[in-house]
Amino acid sequence: MLTDTEGGVARVELRVLLANPPLWVLLEADARASDENGTLRDGVRDLDRLTRRVETATAHSVFTISGLH
C-alpha cells in the first residue's frame, strides 16, 4: 500500500501487476519519483518488497519459458 502526503492510497494486488507488466513499470517509476519528490509518505518498504517479488516471478517465468527451470 502506498500513501501520499495528501492521504491518497494505492493498493494493487501482486497478481494484477504480474499480469500487466506495463502497469508495474508505470507504478514503480511513479512511486519512486514521488519518493524522491517527498510526496510519498508511506510504502517505500512495501514497494521494495514488491519489486523483489516481481523480479523473482519474472526471472522464474523466463527460466521456465527457456526450459532452464
- Tens digit of pLDDT for each residue in 4-42? 899 999 888 888 988 888 999 999 999 999 999 999 999
pLDDT in tens, 37-53: 999 999 999 889 989 98
What's the pLDDT score for residue 29? 94
Instruction: Give burial (CB, 10 Å; 0-12/13-18/19+) of 37.
Output: exposed
What does the alpha-carbon distance between residue 61 and residue 59 come to, in Å, rounded to a whole number?
A: 5
Q: Percentage of the chain surpassing pLDDT 90?
A: 45
How long, in residues, is the chain? Answer: 69
